[in-house]
Amino acid sequence: MNNSDLAQILIRAVEEADSSDRLLDAVQELAAAGIEESVPTLIAALGYNNPGAAVAAVDGLIAIGEAAVPSLLELIDDYNYSARAWAIRALAGIGDVRALDTLLEAAKTDFSLSVRRAAARGLGTLRLHQLPAEKVESVQTQVLEALLLISQDPEWIVRYAAVTSLETLAIAIAVTLPDQASRITNQLQQLLDNDADVGVRTRVEFAQQKIQQQQHQEMFAPKRKLQETEVEVPHRGGGRR
Amino acid sequence: MNSSPQKFEDLSPTGNSGDGESLTVEQAIANLESADLGLRFYAAWWLGRFRICEAAAVTGLIKALEDEADRTPEGGYPLRRNAARALGKLGDRQAVSPLIACLDCSDFYVREAAAQSLEMLGDPVCIPALIKLLQVGLQGEELISQPDLSQPYEAILEALGALRATECVPLVKPFLEHPIELVQYAAARAMYQLTQETVYGERLVKALAGEKLQLRRAVLADLGAIGYLPAADAIAETLAENSLKLISLKGLLEHQVNHTATNTLSDGAIKVINLMDSLL
């Protein structure tokens, strides 16, 4: 049996599932097969109001990866916010930069907090190194502006998600845009001092630790490189024996 | 009948409230005595939803707890229910005695709202009245033989747990065997709060693997409320919406932060953060 036949059988099982348990099993099997043809069916499964099936479908879409991105962007459901949140989660998990505009828009303007949350997270997981080098800085600036805004969202979980992405971005721009880094550290400190929510403040503390650890490593990194070189020379010289 | 308050709860304060009208504080307080019963009902909900803690609002709502005008065909008191719910959110302890009086109301939903609001107000003076209501379902220290559904046991048990009413452990314990699962969970939650024994936390963890989504959602809320750290992985893995798992895990995280003396993040807190990140 080739992949296409297998996909047809597994897709039919999803379509014919007549209980939430059967649906869950069928979507799990389809997702595990990781066949590109199943993408539309997996996306449809995000809208069945079955959280278990949706988790499986998201995992399946992430495993398929970049090939699922065009369909995800095209089939995103404007009328079902829970399906939309799962689709954004899948895009965030894949991290393909083609999702940038969708994530920016969703994080800033979607009325559903679960969509804004997933999109805010996705802005931190995008693989920006896929971009041509000359574009990285402008996209990072765009993401930074968006995250500074989203970290003031009225919902705690959206601010929490924005903090996770500010953490990632702070570490990334320490190299590319070091003069912008203070904007992130200032915003994190603002949140730590003023946020009404203990969960958000605790996540900020954790982010600050991570960023500091990274800076610490970078400070000592040149030294380590030097040491490695020093070690390497005598080693190479070992050939003189 | 009147519109369901839950329908409105989902809307953010900045959102367009659809058919709900926008009120000023003065109007809402005045509307509690409007000739239009629908306006009274809505005003009581509105004052709670937007947490209008002004003295006039509290006085008006307390008065509404004795309303006789607004009745359902079954004899329920819709305005009293909404007033009781609102008073829990306003945090004014003047409401404690009037809410205790509501525990004797003939309307089940008024008693339930009063128990929930007394839990929120956190004044232990209501404990004896709650125990009296709990005892309706008991014969000594056992459940009465016919399963009793006449009292809002879920709300009563949760309140006794939250109020740390340790003296009533023997009265709470029998409800672990109540035929209604939600009541069992409320009892397990309360027993954990009253004894800190892990067996009750584990009972809730086990319930996360249950069949019904509705029940798993309730258990997520219970575990978040008691901040039971050993449940963290099970919470992250149960089949339910990520939003509810995140709220539950946030309860665990807050518990970790509030119960750790040091300034650094505990291992438990970091574990919960990593799980939360994975669910965003």
Would an 8 Å CB–CB cutoff place A48 in contact with chain B? no
Distance, in angstroms, between B11 CA and closest chain A CA?
A: 10
Of A51, A52, A157, Cβ closest to residue B246: A157
pLDDT digits (tens, 9 = 90+) for B127-153: 999 999 999 988 888 888 777 789 999
Contact B246 A203 (CB under 8 A): no
Q: Which helix (H) or strand (E) element contains residue A141?
A: helix A133-150
pLDDT digits (tens, 9 = 90+) for B21-74: 578 999 999 999 999 999 999 999 999 999 999 999 999 999 999 999 999 999
Q: Where are the beta strands (DSSP E) in chain A?
A: none
Of A82, A118, A199, Cβ closest to residue B250: A199
Q: What is the pLDDT of residue A20?
A: 86
Q: What is the dihedral of CA B43, B46, B51, B55, to 10 degrees?
A: -10
Contact A114 B270 (CB under 8 A): no
3-state secondary structure of B76: coil
**Burial of residue B106 (number of CB atoms within 10 Å: 0-12, 13-18, 19+):** exposed
Q: What is the pLDDT of residue A62?
A: 95
Would an 8 Å CB–CB cutoff place A125 in contact with chain B? no
Distance, in angstroms, between B77 CA and closest chain A CA?
A: 34
Q: What is the pLDDT of residue A222?
A: 57
Q: How far is CA A94 from the centre of its chain?
A: 7
Q: What is the pLDDT of residue B157?
A: 97
Q: What is the pLDDT of residue B21?
A: 58
Distance CA B105, CA B275 (A): 44
Distance, in angstroms, between B262 CA and closest chain A CA?
A: 13
The residue among A50, A136, A43, A44 whose CA lies nearest residue A90 is A43
In Å, how far are A11, A64, A76, A83, B39 from A69, measured between CA atoms? 19, 9, 10, 15, 50
Contact A154 B257 (CB under 8 A): no
- Output the 3-class SS for A120-133: HHHHHHCCHHHCCH
Helices A51-64 and A81-94 sit at what angle, rounded to 10 degrees? Answer: 30
Of B15, B213, B254, Cβ closest to residue A198: B254
* Mean pLDDT per 10-residue segment, chain A (241 residues): 84 89 91 91 91 93 95 88 93 95 95 95 92 91 96 96 96 87 94 95 96 79 49 39 40
Which residues of B are less than 8 Å from A92 in CB distance? 280
Positions in chain B whose pLDDT score sits under 70: 1-21
Distance CA B69, CA B34 (A): 11
Q: Which of B14, B51, B242 to mutate to test binding with chain A, by most A CBs within 10 Å of its CB?
A: B242
Q: What is the pLDDT of residue B7?
A: 32
Of B239, B242, B254, Cβ closest to residue A199: B254
A&B contacts, CB < 8 Å: 60
- The single-letter code of the amino acid at B250 is K
Q: What is the pLDDT of residue A4?
A: 83
ipTM of predicted assembly, 2 dp: 0.84
Task: Please give the residue of chain A at the shortest CA–CA distance from B14.
Answer: A154
Query: Does the global pTM surpass 0.90?
Result: no
Would an 8 Å CB–CB cutoff place A82 in contact with chain B? yes
Beta bridge partners of residue B142, listed in sequence order: B139
Of B12, B239, B265, Cβ closest to residue A206: B265
